[in-house]
Structures are given as structure tokens and as C-alpha cells.
Amino acid sequence: MDIEYDLLPNFLKNLNSVLDDSDSNTEWHTGKPDYSLVNGLYERERTKIHPKGSLEDIITNLIKNWEKELSHKANPSQWLTVIPDHFRMAVNGGPWATLEEVGKIGAYNAFLGNCEYYSAAHVTDPLASHQVFREALQSGFALEILEVYTPPPKVTFKFRHWGNMSGELKCPMRNGEMMKLPPHNGKVELFGMVVMKLSENFQILEMEFFFRPDTMMEQMVEGH
């Protein structure tokens, strides 16, 4: 797939495109989000600065806009980074989930599932699951693309997700007991791989994520 940078949609050139290009008709879960904190964290602590227009830069913008839509857009038909009727995702070899199914359970529940220190089965409200981690990672949970191994239409890349536990963590564990921990202000860092299929217009058709979900929760607990 050839890439002509000037002809690419804005969500591949601007990491805040889905926010900057939104209008009064955009449906957000709890209002238009403010990414100033997490963007600041990303700029300060990212480990890679990819040349503008490089494949790594393009995929970075795509994934960061996709994450914003995944976390905050209430109406799947308004997503720009995916083809809503075709999109599906899977985590660690698990079953495929449609965009609608992911929306119903929430992103954190879809990615973490039932870990020892977090149980998606006990947090059935997707907005409540997001609130757990917004409270614990109050300075943001930033995302960067480290390396892109294969070009479109089937893109394989490595990512890093990180933040600081500056707030209280309160969530149910796998055994159903509620865990409540004060902030330890230490870093929480997660690495993983993604295999992603793109359309001719660079919209996402499917994503397969590979990482160890327990890593994130263990770092939050072991810092105490």
C-alpha cells in the first residue's frame, strides 16, 4: 500500500484530530475530553520521537486518535479511525469482539478481563471501569508507538502505555473482594504488540493485542 502523506486524512497526521475536528454533533460519553494532562505526559516522557510523515508517525497518530474514540465517543457510527460495521478486536488470542460489544463492556474491561487484582466481571458499567483508572492514574495514561515492523495493509507494531499512580486505586479483585490502595506515585508501565489490518483508506478493520494484563495491576499493587 503506497502512502502519499499530503492526501492522508487528518487522523493520520494530527494526534488530536478527533478532538480538534469534532463539532456540536459529536456524541461524547461525558462531554468532550480534555487531553492536556496526558498529552503533556506523552511529550515529556515518550522514548521515541518519530520523523513527521514516517510510517511510525502515521501509525502513532492513528492509534492515539483511535484510543480517544474508544475511550470517549458514545456513538460508534461517528468513529473516524475505523470502519464501524467491519471493526473487530481480540486480546491475547481470545474471542473477537465487535465495536458494539467493546462499547458495552468498556475498554479497560476488554483489555484487562479478570486479573488477580482487577475483575471485569464485577465492574459491569463501562464508564465505572474507566473511572477506576482515571482516579488511580490522575496525571494520565499515555501511549506511544515504539516500533512498526510491517507496513499497511497488515501492520504489526510494539507499544508502550504508562502513567503514575498518583490517585487511589479502588476496584474489585478476581475473588470478588474490594481492594482499596492509596497512591504510591510510582510509574505504571505496560508493553505489548498489535497486529492490525487497515482498509485502503487507512481505517482500522481489525486489531489483535498481545500483552500480559496482570503486569499493570501488579505494578499498582507492588508499589505499596
Strands 204-210 and 88-91: parallel
- From residue 210, alpha-carbon distances to 3, 80, 192 in Å are 27, 24, 6
| pLDDT class of 132 with cuts at 50, 70, 90 | very high
Residue entry with cell 499498582 = 220
Report residue 105: phi and psi, to 5°: -100, -20
Residue entry with cell 465505572 = 128
The residues with which 191 forms a beta bridge, in sequence order, are 160
Region 184-212: what's the mean pLDDT?
Answer: 97
Strands 178-181 and 169-172: antiparallel
Q: pTM score, two decimals? A: 0.95
* CA angle (115, 84, 90) in 5-degree steps: 25
Reported as a single tens digit per residue, the pLDDT across 13-61 is 999 999 999 999 999 999 999 999 999 999 999 999 999 999 999 999 9
Average pLDDT, the chain: 95
Domains in the chain and their CATH numbers? 34-222 (3.10.450.50)
Report residue 64: phi and psi, to 5°: -70, -35
